[in-house]
Amino acid sequence: MPVRLIESEALFARAARVVPGGIYGHQSPALLVAGAYPSFFARGRGSHVWDADGNEYIDYMCSYGPIVLGHNHPVVEEAVAAQAREGNCFNGPTARFVELAERLVAITPWADWTVFAKNGSDVCTWATEVARAATGRKVIVKARGAYHGTHAWCSPFPGGTTAEDHANVREVPWNDLAALDAAIAAVADGVASIILTPFRHDAFHDSELPAPGYLEGVRARCDRHGIVFILDDVRAGFRLHLGGSGEHFGVRPDLSCYCKAIANGHPLAACVGRESLRSAAQDVFFTGSYFTSAVPHAAALACLDELDRSDGLPRMAALGTRLCRGLEAAGRSHGFDVVTSGPPALPFMSFRDDPGQTSNRLFCAAAVERGVYFHPHHNWFLSAAHTDADIDRTLAVADEAFAIVAATRR
C-alpha cells in the first residue's frame, strides 16, 4: 500500500465490505491504475482537490465534468446557501425552476422548452422516449461505443439487461454517413431517433471530432426521414458554447441533453427541445422526488451567469490548448509521439501505438503521484478556475512523467 494513500486505501477497504465492488460505476478504481490513484477525496478549491490523505492535486477530471467553474465556487455556493435558507424540496417547484427554464430557452437558439431531472441517464433515455412518442416509431440509432447512460437499452455492460432491452437499438460507426444511411434503410418502420454526442468521446479511445459535413449530414437525414435528432451534450455541454455544443460544431438538433457542467457539481440534468416536440414531451411521464428542487436550479442560474460573465469558455479553450501543445512538446523531448485529441476544453492525451494504453497508464500514474490528476482512459476536463500557473506546474510534472515512461522503455 503506498504511504501517500493510507487513509484512502483504508476507506476503500471499509467500502469494499459494504458496497459491491467498493466503488462502482465510472469512478471504480478498476478503471484507473491500482496503487497510484486515490479513491477517496476530502476537499476541493478552485482547480485543486485534496484526497483523503491530504495529498493535493491539480484536477483535470473536474469530477468527470460537473466542476466547470472550479470546486466550491464562491458565487455558486453563495446562491446555493441563499436558496437553502428558504428551502429546497417542496410539493412543487419554486420561481428558480421557471427562471432556469427561461434561461436555457433564451441561450439555446433553437429551443422552445426545457425539462429538468437529476442524471444524464434520465434525460438521454427520456429524450429517446419523446422521439418515440412523437414519431410513433421504435428504433433508436446510436454510435457504436458511445455512452448515453446506464439504462438497459444503452448500458455499456450487458449485466442485467435482456434481448428485449436492445431490440429497438441500432449501432453505427461514428463519422460514417454511408453506414447511417444503410441503418436507416434497414428499418422498415422508420427510425424514431438518432442520438449522438457532439464529438466522439468514448472511454479507452482517442476523442474524434465530427468530420466536416458529418453532423450536418445527420441533420439532413433526420429532416428527410422525419427522425428526431438528439444531441447528448451531457459531457461536453457548457464547455464549448453556452448555447450547446451543437452551436460550436454548427448543427442544431431537435432535443439536447445536459447534465454535469450545468450547475458546477450540484445535481441537475436538463433536456431542451423544439416546439414540434412539446406535445410528445407532455405524453412521456417524467418525474422524480427531487426534479423540481430549488437549490440545484439556483446553482445552475449562478453557474451559467458566471460562465458568461467571466469568459470561462474561452479561458478553458486557451488553457486546454496550452496544455495540449505543452504535452506534445514535452512528449517529443522524450522521444514520444503523443496524440492530443478532442476540443481543448475537454482534451485527451494518448501515446501513439500504445496497446492497452499501457504507456498512458504509466504516464498518468507518475503524474498523479506528483499531484496532477489526469485519467489514462477517459477524456479530461478543464475548468474556468485553472490558471497558467497550474499549466506551468502540470507541464513540469509531465516532463518528469514522460521521463519515467521513457526509462521503462529502455
| Touching a copy of itself, residues 19-48 (CB under 8 A) | 19-21, 23-27, 38-44
State in angstroms the smallest separation of the CB of 11 from a copy of itself.
5
Residue 324: φ, ψ to 5°: -65, -45
State in angstroms the smallest separation of the CB of 96 from a copy of itself.
10
Give the residue from 65, 86, 69, 47 showing the smallest Cα distance to 298: 86
Residues 363-402 contacting a copy of itself, CB under 8 A: 373
State in angstroms the smallest separation of the CB of 400 from a copy of itself.
21
**214 vs 381, beta carbon nearer a copy of itself:** 381
The residue from 4, 205, 225, 278 that contacts a copy of itself (CB under 8 A) is 278
The residue from 107, 165, 190, 205 that contacts a copy of itself (CB under 8 A) is 165
**15 vs 404, beta carbon nearer a copy of itself:** 15
DSSP H/E element including 229: strand 228-232
Residues 313-372 contacting a copy of itself, CB under 8 A: none
DSSP H/E element including 114: strand 113-117
Amino acid at 96: R
Q: How many CB atoms lie within 10 A of CB 89?
A: 12
Query: How many residues make up the chain in this entry?
Result: 410
Those residues whose C-beta lies under 8 Å from the C-beta of residue 58, and which sit 6 or more positions away, are 47, 48, 371, 372, 373, 386, 390, 393, 394
Q: Provide the mask over 105-124, with x wherever binding to a copy of itself is found by CB under 8 A and - wherever it is not.
A: x------xxxx-xxxxxx--
Residues 70-89 contacting a copy of itself, CB under 8 A: 71-72, 77, 80-81, 84-89
Give the residue from 251, 281, 300, 279 showing the smallest Cα distance to 103: 300
**102 vs 223, beta carbon nearer a copy of itself:** 102
Number of residues that bind a copy of itself (CB under 8 A): 110
State in angstroms the smallest separation of the CB of 296 from a copy of itself.
8
Among the candidate windows 219-227, 274-282, 345-353, 385-393, which touches a copy of itself by CB under 8 A?
274-282
Query: Distance (Å, rounded) from C-alpha 82 to C-alpha 71?
Result: 18
User: Helix (H, G, I), strand (E, B), or coil: what is residue 1?
Assistant: coil
**273 vs 331, beta carbon nearer a copy of itself:** 273
**Residue 288 is a binding residue for a copy of itself (CB under 8 A):** yes
The residue from 199, 214, 229, 291 that contacts a copy of itself (CB under 8 A) is 291
Those residues whose C-beta lies under 8 Å from the C-beta of residue 233, and which sit 6 or more positions away, are 197, 198, 244, 245, 246, 256, 257, 258
Q: Which three cell numbers stand for residue 185?
A: 434503410
**66 vs 344, beta carbon nearer a copy of itself:** 66
